[in-house]
A and B are shown apart, each in its own frame.
Chain A
């Protein structure tokens, strides 16, 4: 059923004429493809009119049908999936605008976790022509038996910011929901929107599954101009070699903010955000009312207020984290500042794209280093971008926790034959090679518990009846609906004033380190912890003015990407005309070269230095901090066990350092053995505290798989009989069902999440082929210094709880018992 685009364009022209716009080629191409019944992926930098490209196709289609049949029945025809519920309101605004011009009789509504229960009830009765929702809300809708009838007219699903979902379990959840919708509507068109990625084809395959031959990837290649500038410190010799706060450049940054109308200042962590906010306020007290902060832990109302003021252009500067990376269009922003390492090429480009959001405008980003070596990262990112070397996002492959959750979701909605369900699920990219064992396990998990002969007694959830899977226990259905959703993190603690005003949330691990009376900074306020009780930290304004702890949240450990690492290596050895950053860094690079050498992709630089603390080996594989953490543990373990000597490991994005009191050396044979790429997995499992890490990872898996009963909203008392902790469950599974595939999954996930196991393997293979450059230095080099300075920071202590406790007791005895010191 080929329809001419001429008609699509003609149908849409009133809107474009009213706006005085011309349609871009990529918009026409997308309308054409949609009219031909095709699916695809559209990629474009932000601010390129891609919303109109994917949304107006379905609208033109509707207008076309209405022109043929004015009584064309009203129905829900379009689903718009957004990764962030915070984006739903902006999306509504963006979609309603053309609708008001072209088809005011069509409704666009949102249903997300933020939607009021009244609105939800309304939507339960009748869905609008276009429904904006999240993957979790869509899953939830699938559990309602009448949902299938409500979307009987569904024609198109649009997935916004697909690159954000790709590579996460929520992306897999999206894939599964789409597989369900495709099974219901074989002609369904699915369109994804994505920022630029290194693996766009794979991204498209993951979105569309196996059922879409002839799908297309359309690029909005408009040559959007992107300028990356760096604030170069005046005296590089006095600029720190290490650290990550970098507030030394506050004054020039304040000046840059003065020179623009509206600035977004991005930092890498929430604690850095708090710190820069404080420092800027100290530097320019007059900005008290025009300076704001935005990060994921602040209360929603507060964040929305900041977003609104950004849109209105009434703020001078917002200090923020990745919470403002996504989608939202803040046209007044005319300057973006990035503080600290960009970490990745795509990330820097994405942030830069927040300025000059309109098509045709130049995007600019001003980069602010927090220590000297970040200068080279900025120039490397610029160069990688010019070469089109952008990071990929690897889709998650068949996570079983998401699968069992989805199975229950499906059978609540309708009873299904297992073989049909399996066939449907295997049309998704994530589960395309799901094997019999995994499938049987997943089925058993929701019906009998254990596999085959080991079924769990008295367990009941879903059941097989007349060869159909069913679940009709009302309580279990309710329980499942509450537990839908796959994002979990550290438990969030609500921060509120004694009077009750909510300020936002903070991770439990942070708040438990504070004692009542301790001060900290949160949301730009100096606070004092009064008490912490039942998920709520009550605070009051700090009375004494004191520089408090800045809250340290998790999530600041993003490693340098592979692409950026390679670009750095290239920049360090580039013989062409040097960039401004490289010139500025030259004095420090010269010191590095005179004491040792520059690390590179084709040799492995290893330095050996003695200090008062003992002996240090510094390795510079340039592979990002997670890989270095894994490599450090592995190499330390393989270099051997010196009786009574422990090896301490520190790492950053450039390399890692081993420190011991004695026993380290530059022995080429032993070092090359330590980098052997064989037995990587076994050795890593033996040397790391993987059991402890897997236990932590199990928290997320247990929740997704429905092992944890969610608290019912509004009910204060948790279900006491079913109260447990995921770490206890982990032990119970290990003890009584050690072959459970969820345990294996948590080990697999922790290896890839904590150490980027695949990248680690690749790095190890490449290192074993590289030449080693061994250099003994009598002083720390500029590259060694940050690793040395970091030596006191704690990583997870090795050993199980017993040995850790023994070590502490022994130490305590030695300190308090004088005789043991004499006998030493």
Chain B
């Protein structure tokens, strides 16, 4: 857990996720049903990602004592992955977590079509919470207000050695906008190039640590 000196305050946790002052847990880019999408298209990828990721989410809620859960977009990967198994896994999760859950729609959610109406799930295009504006795409984040987004799956490349580098999923604080790393275990990262004055955090053995600028802007 790492409290970052933002206004309003925010705590980053290794899940990876963010926790607001009222203990709302925010994650982004879960991409449930991704391996199912691959299988449906004739690519033999083993299952297990849904169960694993929803399990991690439950565990994280229990550990942080979160009061509500906000998914900042891309809960579901694609229409082909929205199988009965995927849907029932989400349904059981919603029952088991016992806190209100809000989905801020992401591009993948929009493409995947409507979700069952009887679900205990609030669906919104954007959300204002504890002083933060939460959207999926950082491009839609307002410039002058604190915001949290996902979508980019940011990762940072850190050279260590002459020809080798580490590539780490990261939290990327760019001015007033924080971009969360993707939560899903079958999601990749996209290498980003932060600018002077930005801040970058990563998860090291379950702990969030800040990466000094010297590491990523040598």
Contact = CB atoms under 8 A, between A and B. Distances in A.
Interface string A707-724: 101000000000001111
B7 interface: no
A736 B48 contact: yes
A182 B164 CA distance: 47
Q: Which of B46, B160, B162, B212 has the most chain A CB within a 10 Å cutoff? A: B46
B45 A802 contact: no
A736 B204 contact: no
Nearest to B77: A721
A794 B162 contact: yes
Given A732-B35, A809-B209, A458 B40 contact: yes
A503 B171 CA distance: 38
Interface stretch (B22-30, B78-86, B113-121): B78-86
Contacts of B42: 459-461, 473, 475-476, 479
B43 A709 contact: yes
Nearest to A477: B42
A539 to B, nearest CB: 20
A682 interface: no
Given A457-B36, A812-B215, A725 B43 contact: no
Contacts of A793: 162
B46 A722 contact: no
A225 B158 CA distance: 55
Interface string B154-182: 00001011111010100000000000000
B46 to A, nearest CB: 4
B20 interface: no
B196 to A, nearest CB: 15
A479 B42 CA distance: 9
A733 interface: yes
B98 interface: no
Nearest to A445: B44
A426 to B, nearest CB: 23
A724 B38 CA distance: 10
Contacts of B78: 721
A456 B45 contact: yes
B164 A735 contact: no
A406 to B, nearest CB: 16
A721 B35 contact: no
Interface string A729-756: 1011101110010000000000000000
Contact of B214 (A737, A792, A794, A812): A812
A449 B39 contact: yes
A808 B43 contact: no
A241 to B, nearest CB: 22
A797 interface: yes
Contacts of B85: 457-458
A10 interface: no
B60 to A, nearest CB: 18
Contacts of A461: 42-44
Contacts of B11: none
Given A450-B46, A458-B83, A794 B168 contact: no
A677 B119 CA distance: 63
Contacts of B187: 728
B188 interface: yes
B63 interface: no
Contact of A722 (B37, B204, B212): B37
A796 B49 CA distance: 30
B41 to A, nearest CB: 6
A735 B41 CA distance: 21
Contact of A456 (B47, B211, B214): B47
A736 B46 CA distance: 6
A435 interface: no
A732 B164 contact: no
Nearest to B191: A512
B93 interface: no
A709 B39 CA distance: 12
A513 B160 contact: no
Nearest to A450: B46
A722 B36 contact: no
Contact of B41 (A722, A732, A805): A722
A101 interface: no
A709 B41 contact: yes
11 contacts: A449-B39, A456-B39, A460-B39, A461-B44, A733-B46, A735-B52, A737-B48, A792-B162, A801-B166, A804-B160, A812-B214
Given A460-B40, A736-B46, A804-B166, 7 more contacts: A459-B42, A721-B78, A722-B38, A732-B45, A735-B52, A801-B168, A816-B212
List of 6 A-B pairs having minimum Cβ-Cβ separation, nearest first: A736-B48, A737-B46, A459-B39, A794-B162, A736-B46, A721-B78
